Amino acid sequence: MGGKAAWKGRKFSTQPAELERLWADLDLADPAELTVVLEPTRNAWIVLAHWFRSRGARVVMVPTTQSADLRAYYSKHAKNDRLDSEILAKLPLLHPEGLREFTGPGSADPLRRLTKQRSTMVKRRTAVYSRLDAFIELLGPAWYGVLGSNYGKAALMLLARYADPQAVIRLGQARLARFLVRHSRGFWREDHTKALIVAARETLALWTGPDGTIGLDFAELGADIAAEAEQARFLTEQIEDLDERIANLNDQADPDGIIASAPGVGPVTSAVIAGRIGDPHRFTSLAAIRAYSGLVPKVSQSGTSDPTLGLTKAGDPLLREALYMAAEQARRIDPQLGALGVRPVVHRSRPGARDASGSGTPRCQELGTRAGRRSPRGRRRTGRGASASERQAGVPV
């Protein structure tokens, strides 16, 4: 209040009774005189921000990077909650231009949460798929020819019920065919049934010794595969539900589809961009949005020295991941956009620069060649042959 802290060392919880006592102790003639400074970490600050703002106080948020830097300076000697509160109180005086006023939870906040949940679930499912790959390798390569490189609903249901090759053979061709037709909605029929039985027999032949003993406990392996398959099924259902909710919220956040009109941006990526950026009016310029994405180069000038550094990687990691995936997709489908990534490298290369082999090939050509080898013939790889980022994406961007 008036550029000074209201008090020091006072602790309280976000309970209505305690907040009311705190407000009464302030004894404000004009609630607008009070400025509440908050650091937007986790979710407890949202409750306080809404409570104080509803009573007329001015609520501002400080950049977490600035508060972290100032906290690192003070924490050389000690770190406690009292010092943290003093740091937040001093930031408006040190960096008033960096404050952002809290205007209330916007329509993009649920979209922000859901896109993060979806990203987390997709990565968890990718880890489950990797473990399934490792288990199925024990059964032999023939199983991949039947199940495919991507685990669909029918494949996961099969692995959850009949991952034991002995159980597949005992089930018989007729009952197995009915099972596959029912869970694949008629897509898998007699050919898949016969191929699966052949794969089961090949597995038994691989693990059966000359004396007739079987060197692997298929029942225990089937139980392990079933547990992973059930996890993958559950995560897939959750991701499908999130996709439906995200699509509805994205229609509200971007009704004209402006974000989705950008090259390489699909429904999943556009929802991530809209949700993680939130209200675009909170940024003062396009440069501020670019800085928030973390996809801008670091600057460290000193006199005549101006080195070329890497990206800042500040801001929201999920937003940065979505923008990278969109740029990668646009580079693949549009050669002109792909050439834009090579031109800056050509411009920065020294005249006559050579590669390590001394063949006279410019460095930019080497970088461009390596970038072009990410996917053979420009196709998007899927399944076991896909890269980690492609497997994590879940669906095309």
38, 49 Cβ separation under 8 angstroms: yes
Rounded to a whole number of angstroms, the CA Rg of the chain reads: 29
CA 24, CA 18: separation in Å to the nearest integer?
Answer: 10
Look at residue 362 and tell me whether its pLDDT is greater than 50.
no
Q: How far apart are CA 283 and CA 279, in angstroms?
A: 8
Distance CA 131, CA 124 (A): 11
Average pLDDT over residues 78-95: 70
Q: According to the model, what pLDDT value does residue 391 have?
A: 47
Identify the bridge partners of residue 36 per DSSP, sorted by sequence position: 59
Q: What is the pLDDT of residue 29?
A: 84
Q: Give the C-alpha separation, 167 to 150, whole Å.
A: 23
- Of all residues in the chain, the percent with pLDDT exceeding 70 is 78
Which tens digit of pLDDT belongs to each residue from 149-180?
789 999 999 999 999 999 999 999 999 999 99
Higher pLDDT, 299 or 133: 133
Question: What is residue 396's predicted lDDT score, i.e. its pLDDT?
Answer: 42
Name the pTM for this structure: 0.72
Dihedral angle over CA of 339, 340, 345, 347, nearest 10: 110
pLDDT digits (tens, 9 = 90+) for 174-211: 999 999 999 999 999 999 999 999 999 999 999 999 98
- Starting from the edge strand earliest in sequence, which strands make up the sheet with 100-101, in order? 35-38, 58-61, 100-101
> Any long-range contacts for 38-42 (C-beta under 8 Å, 24+ apart)?
38/62, 38/88, 38/102, 39/64, 39/67, 39/88, 40/64
What's the pLDDT at 1? 62
Q: What's the helix, strand, coil split of the chain in %, to 5?
A: 60, 5, 35
Cα-based torsion angle of the residue sequence 158, 130, 270, 330 in order, rounded to the nearest 10 degrees: -110
Q: H-helix or E-strand containing 245?
A: helix 218-253
Range scoring the smallest mean pLDDT among 106-115, 240-249, 305-314? 106-115
Backbone angles phi, psi at 41, to 5 degrees: -120, 140
